[in-house]
Every structure is written in C-alpha cells, then in structure tokens.
Structure 1
Amino acid sequence: MNYQQTIAYLYEKLPVFHRVGAVALKPGLENITALCDALGSPQTQFKSIHVGGTNGKGSTSHLLSAILQSAGYKVGLHTSPHLKSYTERFKINGKPCEERVVVDFVAAHKSLIEKIQPSFFEISVALAFDFFAQQNVDIAIIEVGLGGRLDSTNIINPVLSIITNISFDHMDLLGDTLAQISFEKAGIVKAHTPVVISETHPETAPVFLRKAEESEAPIFFADQIYSVHSLALEDGKRRLKVESNLDLIPINEEVEIDLVGSYQIKNVVGIWQSVKVLNQLGFHISRQAVEIGMANCAKLTAFKGRWQVLSETPMTVADVAHNYGGLCETIEQINSYDFDRLHLVLGFVKDKDVQGILPLFPKNATFYFCTFDSPRALSVQELVYIVDNFDLTCSFYRDVTSALEAARQNATLKDFIYVGGSTFVVSELPEI
C-alpha cells in the first residue's frame, strides 16, 4: 500500500474519534499495552513528558518542544488531532515524520492490528512510541488524547507530568463536574514524579493534591509561583513580563512569545515552572534556550491554528478553541481589538453544546455558519434548527471556504473576522 491507501485502510479499519466521536473510544489500557508489548515496549526506551488538561495542552507541548530543541535536545512530539496531514502527529525537532514511516509501520504490523483491533488513536500512540524509540530521541513530549487516567498515552513513565487547566469538555465521557473531570486528568500523575499544574481552581486543586499525596509526587501550582503579564503585541509577537509570587525566587524578567493568543499567558506560567523542574532533574535548559524557543515556537515546531492571523486588513484570525473555557478566552481577546464590525465564521461538531456556546458570542456580530467534511459535523439543516432559537444576523454555508469568502466580501478593512468553533473548521482553511 502507498501512503494514501494506508491512511484509507486505517480510517476504514479502525474507529476514529475525531471523525465519529465517542463510539470510537475503547476505554482501558489493554489494547495499547498489548500493542506495545508486541513492539518491544518502545515507550520505555526514551524519556518523556506527559501533558494533559482541557485547554492549552497542545500549546504547552509545542512550547516545551521548541525550548528543548533550542537547548540542543532531540525532541519527539506526539499531539492530536492533526490539521492537514496525519504525519503531523509524529514530529522530531518540529518536523513531521515522512509518509513512509506510517506506511512501513502499518505494513509491518498489519496482522497485529487486525488481531488486537485497536482504535485509530491507539495505533497512532503505538506508532509514535515506536518511531521515537527507533529515532533515539533524547526526550518525547506526549500530549494526552482525552482525559488521562484511561488515555492510551498513559502507559508511559514520564520524568514530568503537566496538567494545564480544567474546563467543561467531553462531559459525557469525563464527568459533568470539574472535580470529576480533574479526577480523570489527574490519572497521569505518577509515583514520585513531579507534576506541574498550570492553573489553580478551588474545585480541582484538592483533587490534584490528593492524587499527588497518594503518589508521593511533588506538586507545583505554577500560577501560585509565577505571574505573567502582557506588555505589548507587536511585530507578530507578544512581549510578556514574568514575575515571582514567592520571595524565595525573586524574578522580574521579560520574554517574547510568537503564539500571540492572550490565553497563552496561562500556559507560560506552567512552562516556566516546568523548565525549572527539568533543570532540577538534570536537564540543561538555559535562559537563552527559553527565549529562543518561546519567540520562535510556531516556526520551530510547525505549530498552526492557535490565534493564527490570516490577514491584517481586515484582521482575520483562525483559532481551534472549541469548548466553553477556550471560547471564553477567545472572545475576551477578540474584544481587546479595536474594530468596526465583527464577522464570525463558525462550525461545530455534533457533541458540542452549541446552544450553551452561542450566547458567548456578541449578538451584534454577523454570523456565517458552515459545515465541514466530517461525519461529526453539524449539518446546515441542524445548524439552521439550532440557530433559529437565537436572534442573530446569520447565513449558512456548506463549506468553510465559501463562508469565509462571504465574510471577506461583506467586511471592510476596519472589521474583524474570526474563524473557528472546531478544529475541523480551521483545518479546512487553505491558508493553514
């Protein structure tokens, strides 16, 4: 099989969460354990960092990769879902694996795949572990797929665990309270292994503290140790000031970041503490490496879709935020801009509470609702039915491109166009 045939085989043979939703999940670690046992336990052959949370885990993973790359390490990076190509899930020093890696892996292990019948995500995780082991990476950053406790990535024994934040998402699978969701996320905390929590919340902190105590794991609430403030946004980068909240670690430093979303401020405190912990563990990450990595993350890791500016006249931004917490941050940032009219190009998957999300957006905006190429996409007919309950100025489109074209035709140079609502919407933009 060539690459396209191989991908078609995986999509046809294995249930894919990002295409069909929860029915694709196979809870438990039995399949991934069986796969990796057959592969010679590749996940034990490299050091790793485990990154979980609701929002910010992708940005945190890429920022850490960029910093470690800048410090001279050979860094594996496994994230999901991909935007354009499946190979994006398997990067080394920011470069996706070659297509032949996927082809050769599936060809070599086709009988194993058909025997175990794993999910699409399980085979992706196994492929990542095998690839990183074969390439002899110094360290791999492994992003949790969903939850944590029963996530397929949770068979690694990392040197550091990071939990970015907790918000409401996938409640049908993880629980409908923040405490329940944080219990699942806390499943990545390992015995005697430090864990960094990027954002403290009164409902989730006790869960993390209890899990850390049970695991005898050093725990650090990064936002209690550091504060980060935005100073300016210029030349495609955001300048930040990092200050200490503890007298024991006096610090007042400035740094630039090329991921300009204001919500990245919450991720930076976790990054700052994680670098400190890694250096205490024996890594050698200089201040210069931190500066270079943060200022050039998008370029060093080929990271896309996070407050990505598509044009400046009119200002047009795409972002993959798709749950309540992420969209709250996004709308706050939109409101920080000075513009005449707001145009929103939005699409959603079927398992999102669209009726709960829509009130977050300004009612005086012009809405361009669209669908996209996925079985999980809300169709135009479904969108019309949902939106009928709201008094909005809106129109409907059968694809993302035509919706964005309509927004651009209606916008003046002083307007603002936002594209999002789903990772799928952003992935179908030709500019990405």
Structure 2
Amino acid sequence: MTVLSPLSQSSPSLADWLCYIEQKHPQHQIELGLNRIRLVAERAGLQQLPGKKILIAGTNGKGTTARTLEQLLLAQGFSVGVYSSPHLLNFNERLRLNGQDVADPLWLDAFGFVEQLRADTELTYFEFTTLVAFRILCQLQPDFCLIEVGLGGRLDATNIIEPDLSLLTTIDLDHQDYLGPDRVSIGREKAGIFRHGVPAVVLETDLPDSVLEVAAQLGTQLWRSGAQYQFSQGQLWSWQSANHQLLQLPKPAVPQANVAAALMALELLQVLPDVGVLEKVLADLSLPGRMQWLSHQPAVLLDVAHNPQSAAYLASQLTELKGRYLKIHALVGMLKDKDCAQSLQCFDGLIDQWHLVSLPGARGATAEQLSAVFSDNSALCCYSMVQDGYQAALDALQQDDLLVIFGSFVTVSAVLALQMETEV
C-alpha cells in the first residue's frame, strides 16, 4: 500500500503527519543505528544544535533530571529547549521551549522540511520525529538544549549530536532485546553518549565495569555521585562538590539523586544557581506522571514506574506515605515486554487491594497475565480496560484510602485523559 505524504495535501494537520510516519514505520518497530538519521541530518546541519547541549541517558530518571536542569536554567534567565519522549497526552509535549510545549505551526513546518530533506531515505518514527525536533531547535536557537536519549545511547537517534556535557542517570534491566541481557551490556550501550574530552556526570553508584571501560577508552572524565559530588537525603538535605556546598535544601517532589546530578552538571557548565534560586525552584519542582497527585480527596497518586528499578523507588515513597492512609489500592497496567513479576514484587506488603487492567495493542499485557504474578488472588480484581478499572478503584476508595496508579506511560496517560474528560 502506498502511503501519500501530507505534503500532497493543502493544509495537513499534526495528526496527519503523525499518522503518515506511523504508517510508514510503526513506533514499535525499533531499528537502532545512526547511518540513516546522520545522512539526512547532515544535509541541513540538523545535528549541530545551538547553545550548550546536554545529552541525558539512563534506564530511569531522564525526565525528572531534564526537568530539574530546565527549571534551574530558566530561573537564571536562560532560554531552554527540552526534547523528550514518550509523551503522556499530546505529541507536542515532546519538545518544550522555556517550559511551554511547542505549538502545532512550528511542528507542521518542520515535518514538511524533514519530509523533503529525507528524499528517498527511510526513517523510523523516532528518527523522523527527532529530526523534526532538531529542526525546530535550530530555528529557535535556545541557550541550552536538553536532549533525552530514547533507547540506550550508542545507537540512539539522539546520539548524532556532539554534547557539551553527557549525563548518565541509572543502569538497570530494561529493553534487553535491544541493549543486551545484563547490566554490563546495557551500561556499555548507555555509555555510548560519552565523548573524548567532554565531561560526563554519572548518577548511578553501582556502575558496571563496562561504563568505566568506555570512559577510559574515550578519554572521558567522570563526575560520579559519592565521589566527585555527594548529597544527603531527607526533608532538608545538602549537596556538595569540591567547589560548592549547599545546605538545608527543601526536599523536591522528584528524586533527590536526580537533582544532585543536575547540580553537578550545572556546576561543570558554570551556571550553578545561587541558594535562593535553588530553594525557590526545588519547592515547586515536579513533572507530570512522576509522583503526581491527581487529587488529594480522594487521594490519587500517579507514577509512570514501569520496570523493577522505578517500581522500587515508587515502593519506597509509598512506604513513607503508608502511615497516613487506612488502605492503599493500586491500579496497574503494564506492557508484557517489561519485567512485570519483579516490578510488582517490589510492593509486597504495601498494597491492600490490586486493580489489574489490560493494556491495548500487541505489547499490552492482560490483567490475567499480571494476576499470574500473585500467589494469593484474594485481593485482586481484573478489568479488560483501564477506564473500567479506574472507575472501580475510585468506587472502592474509602475516605482515608490512597489509590496509586502505575505500570506504564500508557496506563498513566489513559487515566489523565479520563480525568480531563470528566473536567470538561
């Protein structure tokens, strides 16, 4: 079947473009490699992003680390572009300029530009959208470009740029079909964002040897958590490096380890904010879908935790919250290519009632598949659709209960969409 380019239409919409590239190369058909995207990018210099570039890779924590960097830079008067994926509700979320999602007209112009630029070169969904975002960043010329790696690092489409600083968050088991079966191979792939002579901040404290080997081979100097910088945990916490010490900082709504890595990155780029700016930003720092309170009465908490490492962090936060609530309910939907069993086992003894939902599409796990993880089915309810499970979970909540929703971006985005419908 021939798929016609939206350029043949008089006024294509953003939805038209997304449908076109999805039909050309569905999102779930991942093809890692830099040859295609580099070939197209170099025709217009799209790999040469403006300003200072920070390339952010890792299994978890990329989004919150980028948000921290973004807000601390904006508070100092810099212009900031952030490229991230996936989105929760609208595709426009994938590119922010100065905290605002880029509007349709810029996307439409850039899609048309890249479609003509690629000529006969086939691009994956992510390669196409990455070039479109890079085209917009080249037009807008922000002072800083914060670029989240999509998958891995070494062969991810974003790795065509030359960063001024690389930032590696965490390394854990995820996407093993593409990155390798263990942390050693995954770490090697993620360390592919390192460059010779370019500083790299590393949040992960339990580094596999492969990361150190790549850094040594490339001549990359690492600034590591617990070594070149340290931080404490708690409601009031501290951070220090060889050159700075920051005390009595307010606890943010994002992981403190991610904030600590962001502070090290900013110091290396010589834009570390003063304490007053930092305190103000941390007090309001948040990111949709990450420890996000949908409401407080009833108490409903959202988090996109979808693998064992992120699930363990969410479980640690629920442990702190548990004493405030009579019961904790969980609404969970996951993708079947994730480690569902190990992720859900993180919540042993924390959840009083499970509401398991089936997710759509070829990658979606069914509620029954999730239920097989549990040896005791007495506190389980299964639903074929997210909306059915969400309504049932809300109906089951008592005044002093908490509902936590997690397992996938798909699950969280579906609930956010339902919430928006009820507010209209």
Normalising by structure 2, report the TM-score.
0.89
| Correspondence for 2:7 | none
Matching of residues 105-254 of structure 1 within 5 Å: 105-113=110-118, 115-201=120-206, 203-204=207-208, 206-224=209-227, 225-231=229-235, 240-244=236-240, 248-249=242-243, 251-254=245-248
Selected match of 1:37 from 19, 39, 42: 42
The residue correspondences of 1:249-328 to structure 2 (distance < 5 A) are 249=243, 251-256=245-250, 258=252, 260-261=253-254, 264-279=255-270, 283=271, 285-298=273-286, 303-328=287-312
Compared CA separation, residues 388 and 167, structure 1 to 2 (3 A): closer
Q: Secondary structure at the match of 1:184?
A: helix
Report the aligned-residue RMSD: 2.2
**Structure 2 unmatched ranges of 5 or more:** 1-11
| Cα distance change of structure 1 residues 374 and 95 upon mapping to structure 2, 3 Å threshold | farther
Match of 1:372 among 340, 359, 379: 359
Query: What CA deviation, in whole Å up to 9, does each residue of 1:377-410 have, x standing for no partner?
Result: 12345446x3576535211223223212211211
Counterpart residue identity of residue 400, structure 1: V
Judge conservation of contact 1:68–1:293 (CA < 8 Å) in 2.
no
* Partner-residue secondary structure (3-state), 2:320: coil
Is the Cα–Cα contact under 8 Å of residues 308 and 317 in structure 1 kept in the other structure?
A: yes
1:330 has 2:314 as partner: yes
SS across alignment from 1:115? coil
Whether the 8 Å contact between 2:114 and 2:132 is mirrored in structure 1 is no
Q: 1:78 touches 1:90 (CA, 8 Å); kept in 2?
A: yes
Which of 22, 28, 35 does residue 11 from structure 1 map onto? 22
1:343·1:368 contact (CA, 8 Å) conserved in 2? Answer: yes
Distance of 2:23 and 2:119 partners within structure 1: 12
Structure 2 partner of 1:234: none
Partner of 1:237: none
1:345 partnered with 2:293:
no
Match of 1:71 in 2: 76
Matched, 1:358 2:344: yes
In structure 2, C-alpha distance between the alignment counterparts of 1:314 and 1:64, rounded to whole Å:
32
TM-score normalised by structure 1 residue count: 0.87
SS at match of 1:255: strand
One-letter amino acid of the counterpart of residue 391, structure 2: E
* Number of residue pairs the alignment of both structures matches: 403
Change (3 A) 1:32 1:293: farther
CA 1:148–1:341: 2 relative to 1, 3 Å:
same
Contact 1:46–1:133, Cα closer than 8 Å, also in 2: no
**Kindly tell me: are residues 252 and 92 of structure 1, through their superposed partners in 2, closer, same or farther at Cα, counting changes over 3 Å?**
closer
Q: Distance in 2 between matches of 1:371 and 1:427?
A: 14
Give unpaired runs (5+ residues) of structure 1: 232-239
Alpha-carbon distance in 2 for matches of 1:6, 1:241 = 46
Q: In structure 1, what is the Cα distance between the partners aligned to 2:377 and 2:367?
A: 17
SS in structure 1 opposite 2:415?
A: coil
Q: Which residue, out of 408, 411, 418, partners 1:425?
A: 411
**Which stretch shows the higher mean deviation, 104-113 or 394-403?**
104-113
Task: Indicate if the aligned counterparts of 1:71 and 1:286 stay in contact, CA closer than 8 A.
Answer: no
Deviation at 1:141, TM superposition (A): 0.2
* One-letter amino acid of the counterpart of residue 340, structure 1: L
**Structure 2 counterpart of 1:251, one-letter code:** Q
- CA distance in 1 between counterparts of 2:277 and 2:123 reads 39
CA contact (8 A) 2:47 2:160 kept: no
How far apart, CA to CA, are the structure 1 residues paired with 2:169 and 2:186? 13
Q: Which runs of 4+ in 1 moved over 4 A?
A: 111-114, 380-384, 387-390
CA distance in 1, matches of 2:277, 2:43: 38
Q: What is the correspondence of 1:35-114 to structure 2 with a 5 Å cutoff?
A: 35-113=40-118
Which residue of structure 2 aligns with residue 236 of structure 1?
Answer: none
Give the conservation status (yes or no) of the 8 Å contact 1:77–1:141: yes
Instruction: State the Cα distance separating 1:42 from its structure 2 match.
Output: 4.6
For residues 93-144 of structure 1, the C-alpha deviation after alignment (integer angstroms, 9 at most, x for no partner) is 1111111222222233334456222111111111111111100111100001
